Structure formats: C-alpha cells, structure tokens
Chain A
Amino acid sequence: MSTRPILIRGGRLVDPATGTDSLRDLLLRDGVVAAVETPGQFARVANTTVVDATGLVVAPGLVDIHVHLREPGQGYKETIATGTAAAAAGGFTSVCCMPNTIPVNDTPEITRWMLAPERKAIVSVFPIGAATVGSMGEELTDYNALRDAGAVGVSDDGKPILGDEIMRQTLIAAAKANLPVIQHAEDTRLTGGCSMNAGPVAFRLGLRGMTIEAEARIVERDIQLMREIVASDQHLRPHLHVAHISTARALEAVKQARKEGLHVTCEVAPHHFTLTDEAVGDYDTHHKMAPPLRDEANRDAMIAGLLDGSIDAIATDHAPHAAHEKHVEFERAANGITGLETALGLTLRLLHRKHGMELSRIIHLLALGPAQVLNLHGRGALATGAAADAVLFDPRMDWIFQAKESRSKSKNTPFDGWSLPGRVAMTIRGGQIVYRR
C-alpha cells in the first residue's frame, strides 16, 4: 500500500547537495522526492497531505553514522524501535548502528536480524558489521557477506583494532569489499583504569587520565598502514574513517593524510565541540565517555576543523545506558551519553549561532557529509529522485531539552535542561511522517 503523497509548502529549502537555500515547495511521492518547485508552482494535487512549512527550514533528513541501538542483547538500554524513535525526534532519518551488540554483529544473520521489519525501526537503519570475529581483533569477518546483508562499513567500535597486522588485513579486505573501516582510535594499552581526559582536571579529581597520545597514536599508525598498503598495491584504495575524533593532533594526522591523497575521513561528536573536561565537575557520570571530553584547546580545534572543512561529518555516538549503570562511582560508570535528540540543537547553538556557520554548512555536516562518508546513496539530499527523507525545523525557535521527555529508553545525557535552538517540527522518512511535534 503506497502512502499519500506529501506536499511541503512555503518552507525554506536548505539542500547543500544542490546548493539550494531558498523558498521551495516539495512533492514527495512513492518514497522519493518527486519534484521541487518555486512556491505556488504546484497545482492543487488531489489526495495529497499538505504540510505548511512557512517559517521553517526544510532540509534533507539528518544522517547519523555513529549510534548504538543496543539490539540484540541489551534491550533494557535501548531497542531499535526506541532508538529510531529518538532519531526521528531529533530529525534523523538514517542511522548507522555499531556492531557492539550481544552477540556482536559479525555475521550476515545478525545484520539481517537488525534489518527485519519486526524490529519496528521508524527511520532507515544501516548496520555496521564487526571488522573481526566477536570484535576480538584476531580473525576477519566475511566482509562481502556482511555488505550483501546490508552492512555499510566495518568497525570494532569500542574495541579498537590494535594489532598492526590485523589492522593491515582489515584495511585491505575492506578496500576489496568496497567498505570503509571505522576505527575507534584509542590505544587501550595506554588507557587502562582511565576515566577522563588526562590533565589538570583529572589530577585535581584524582582520576587517571586518557592522554592525547592514546588517540593520536592509533590514527597515526592507521594512516601509516594506509601508506604502506597503497604503496604496495596501487589498485587498492582503502578508506579509513576515524570515529569521534577529539584531539588536535589526530586531526592534524588526518589532514596530512588527505594532502597525500589517502582516503581518510573523520567525524566529531557534538559533545566534543561543545564541552570540555571541566564539565566533569563533581564526578558527573553524564560527562563520562570515550573518547573523553578534552581541554579547551582541543575542543577549539574541533570547532576549527568543522569550520574549515577538515571534519567530514557530525555524528552523535548515541550511547544509551540504564540509570543503574550511571549512578555508580565515576570510575565504574559506563562510558557514553545519548545524543540523537540534541545533536541538531547543539550544532545550531555552537556552530550557527556562536560561530556564524551558514545553515547549508550545518546541514552538510549533519546530512550530506555523513551520507557521503558511508556511501549512503540518495541520502542527505533533497533533489528530485532522492529519498523522501526530510526534517522541518525552526532555527530561530529555542526550546528546553528535557531528558525525561526523551524518546530514547535511556536518559543519560549531560544536556538535560539546556536551551537549544531549532526544535524539530516534523520528520519525514520515506515519504511518511515519522515525527511531528
């Protein structure tokens, strides 16, 4: 059964893919953008849902290439249904979920399970397959089989691929399967027992700190492996994507690699360009994540990287945890925070309002950029023929984010009570309204 077409009228279309930033009407039909016209051009279309977008920005549905949906295995934290509901409320229409589920998503069967209609996802889910069996860093999974089942990349997120030889094999096999390798860059041999960023704040709080070194070293090592691979076989073009980059030094390594022509991309999480390690305050576990909140210089380097284009995408690292996993001693608390419902607001707050970034760049970083990183064709754009995925929001309207009203099953967010711009008015995915305020 096909749904009624939707006509979005009177909105300001911001579509970086076509360079559009002007008033446009959009017709969504059969799951795709059927037409984009100047206002008033559409004749009255019978049997169509008309959405009045006057005063709103109409943008391609946002794309989050780094989320944890916790299914299978940890449905008490989040399910694919609740996680995608939170995504829709945050304006996201596509999410890429990490494989650190229980069991780990290291087979086509689990990938297909995640994609089954029984999961009741209300936005598009793109699983990321485990790079190694059980994410144990020893034996590669079957990349072609994972890709054919729907995986859009491989990663051992949370359990970085440390061994040089296995990482080399990963990059080569992924290049052959035309999949990016997503690395959580943390040398866990250097971060044992560490629960925040190394530096004066950690020293004062008596907490062991994760160093800049622990992140940068892995990024530099991975890039060196890329160089060696490309030098030894000119037909191979591996793609390394650095997840949640948080240090200036790692970002420098990424920039250098690009200058050399290597295919290296990176993402940054909203909390890493919004907060610093000072926010840990009195051991607030809602400010505990990996990588940790860094100092001001590194936070500012993330903002600079977003402004100058050296960072490809904003991704949330949405990491839901139950209250009992956070209401414990800081060092014992689970890493991570939720992020799907605050990402747009934080990005507008920091980059648009504070640093004057244009809306089209904001949308690029939250939609087109991430879609390009993981080759999600037809996503992150609103040109004719693209997926009928859209978000409608008012960038001038401020609202108070309330954790208790979150659609996510978990409430572990440091942004409870924050005033954020750009409340989402409506989210449309595949031509269907999946969120409406």
Chain B
Amino acid sequence: MAGKKIASRVSRHAAASQPSTPVSQSTYPAGSLLSVTHLSLEEIGGILAAASELEAAAPRDRATLLEGRKAALLFYESSTRTRTSFELAAKSLGVVTTLVSDKSSSIEKGESLKDTGITLRALGAECIILRHLSSGSPYLLARETGLPVLNAGDGMHEHPSQALLDLRTMLARLRLAPVSRNATAISKATLRGVTVVITGDILHSRVARSNALLLPRLGARVILCGPHELLPDEAETLGPGVSIERDFDKALARADVAMMLRIQTERLAGLKLNLQQYTEQYQLHAERLALYAPHAVVLHPGPMNRGLEITSEVADGPQSMIEEQVRHGVAIRMALLVRALQPGTQEARA
C-alpha cells in the first residue's frame, strides 16, 4: 500500500519534471536528459522533489516502482562513481540493468554508436544511459533509437546529472531551499546571492559546462577560474551570470561554493602544462581556504588528484561535501530514471 502511495507521489513529481510545453526537447524522446539547458525550472524542481521522495522511501517500496523495466548502461569511457551511481539507483528501483562497455563488446569490433543503440533497443532496453568520449553523442543516440537517453557525460560537453546532484548538494548545505519531499519550488531567485567558483581545467570539463549553464538560471553567480590554456576567454559567453577571474585567491574570497576540477590529462591533446606552477596558483589547500573562504562549501566531482588541485586536508576536511555529492548522486539518478521510465507507462510505450 505504501508502495502505491509512493508511486503516485513520485509520478506526480516526475510528471512535473516533464516539460509542460515540449519545445526545447521536441526532437528528442520524452524523459531524455541530454543537456541541462533542456530543463525548465519547473522540471528541475520536479526532479529534485522526486529525488527527495525516493530517497526517503522504504527500500522495499522503491524496489517495486520500476520493477522489471530495462535500462542499458552504455559506457565508452571508464567511470567509477557515475556508473555505479546510475546502476545502484536503477537496481534500487527494480530496474534490470545491463552494462555495455567499449571493452569486451562489439564496439571493439567497430560497431557504430547507432547500431549499438539499435541493438540494445532490440534487446529490450527502454532507456540508455550513455557515457561517451565524443561531445554530442547522446543527441545522436536519442535521434537514432527514439529511446530516452540519459547523458552520463559526453566528451567535453555536458554532465547534466552531475550538475543536478551538485545543485542538490548546495541546496542541502546552504539550506536555501528545503530539499524536502514536497515539490521543491525552484525559481530564478533560489540561488540569489550565492557565488560558485569553479576552478581548474574548465576547457575540457563537462561538469563545468553543465554547472555554468544551470546555476545562473537559479540566480547564482558563477566565477570560472584557471589559466588561459585551461580557460579560454570565450567561456564567459556561456551565458549571463558567468564571469572569469584568473586570480584564484580573489575568486575564492567571493566563494560560497568552491568547486575544484581535475586536470584531465587524457584530454590535454599535446597541451603542455607546468604542473608545479599550476599547483602554486590554483591548488586548494588548507591555508588558502582558511584565509580566503573559511565558510565556503568545497565540492569536487571526482576523481580527485590529491596533492594537485586539492590537498587531502581540504578534501577530507570539515568544509568538504565531496562524499555528500556522491550520496546525492544516487537520489538524483533515481529521479532521472523514474522520469525516463515513468512508472506505469510501459504499455503506452510499447
């Protein structure tokens, strides 16, 4: 009985998390999340509320919500937290998951993304969670398969579920909006007065793009910080509310949230970086944090290079919410799966 109640409440939030006027996403299957820019504030509120509802539910009730539904995790890049997080979120809702990775699959034999997607669909997948090294690949997969696609990180483009879990972490910590089971009202003033400093390898970071495209819409100021090689001037054109400050200390002095990013050595493409100099200028260490941002929340999407962009003392310190981020990730991904697979829509879809 309790299970039914949850189902109805969650599906109400999930309904709110769908676009009311399907304009932005009209060419993509409903329930897809390809970019944070496709979400209205109302949808974001619906996702956050559903996440809280699901998190609070008894595991036994959750487990029947999407019982027997099928989702494929298609991973062309290695991943620990995003993959496991999506997988655990799916399993806790009763979703049957299958993992396909570029190793040990026909991808190694040169099968295209389109054919891989069509094959997964033929095998019964109702939703595909895609991580891919090529920017924009989730758009292709959604177009070619007609299935809802959840972008779990595409190249240097976006990582929308990460931005949503970062948002949930901030809201919880800053107590700006109740992350409650009641529909979270999200407005363009929700993060008014909050300054988020994102520091490091912005150029190659899909996390930075998703956050910089999402947070200003809720009223936050986003300051991007890093050297020219990793933060080109055009980053400022991402939208209003996004600015560049190359002096880390100055940026940090304004931060309510300090989000640190890893140097993505796999995407540097020949770019030479003086790591010692980088560390001196941009490492978040205890002294710097105490001096410039003693009250800021410290975030990191992981994986961390301890001793490079962040010291262990800070990562494991009292201002760090890095572990919390991971916990919020499961809740957000449960909500995204419910949104993609809308309980009770199996037949309608078929």
Contact = CB atoms under 8 A, between A and B. Distances in A.
B136 interface: yes
Nearest to A199: B234
A204 B209 contact: yes
B144 A207 contact: no
Task: Say whether chain A's binding surface is mostly helix, strand, loop, or mixed.
Answer: loop
A120 interface: no
A207 B136 CA distance: 9
Interface in B131-175: 132, 134-137, 139-140, 144, 154-158
Given A200-B234, A204-B209, A327 B136 contact: no
Interface in A189-213: 192-193, 199-200, 203-208
A328 B140 contact: yes
Contact of B114 (A206, A207, A283, A327): A327
B136 A328 contact: no
A381 to B, nearest CB: 46
B269 interface: yes
Interface residues of A, number: 19
A160 B195 CA distance: 47
A332 interface: yes
B232 interface: yes
B139 A282 contact: yes
B276 interface: no
20 contacts: A203-B237, A204-B213, A206-B135, A206-B156, A206-B157, A206-B158, A207-B136, A207-B155, A207-B156, A282-B136, A282-B139, A283-B136, A283-B139, A328-B112, A328-B113, A328-B114, A328-B140, A329-B113, A329-B140, A330-B134
Given A206-B206, A328-B112, 4 more contacts: A203-B232, A203-B235, A203-B238, A205-B136
A331 interface: yes
Interface string A272-284: 0000000000110
B36 to A, nearest CB: 12
Contacts of B203: 203
Nearest to A285: B140
A200 B237 contact: yes
A199 B232 CA distance: 9
Interface of A: 192-193, 199-200, 203-208, 282-283, 324, 327-332
Contacts of A328: 112-114, 140
Contacts of A331: 134-136, 155
A327 B232 CA distance: 30
Contacts of B234: 199-200, 203
A355 B114 CA distance: 42
Given A205-B157, A206-B154, A206-B206, A283 B135 contact: yes
A286 to B, nearest CB: 13
Nearest to B28: A282
Contacts of B137: 329-330
Contacts of A324: 112
Interface string B256-270: 000000000000010
Contacts of B135: 205-207, 283, 330-331
B269 A208 contact: yes
B345 to A, nearest CB: 25
Nearest to B158: A206
Contacts of A330: 134-137, 140
Contact of B155 (A192, A199, A204, A206): A206
Contacts of A332: 134
Contact of B140 (A193, A204, A327): A327
A203 B212 CA distance: 12
Contacts of B238: 200, 203-204
Contacts of A192: 269
Nearest to A283: B136
Contacts of B213: 204
A328 B237 CA distance: 28
A201 to B, nearest CB: 9
Contacts of B114: 327-328
A283 B154 CA distance: 12
Interface string B183-220: 00000000000000000000100100100010000000
A203 B269 CA distance: 16
Contacts of B206: 206
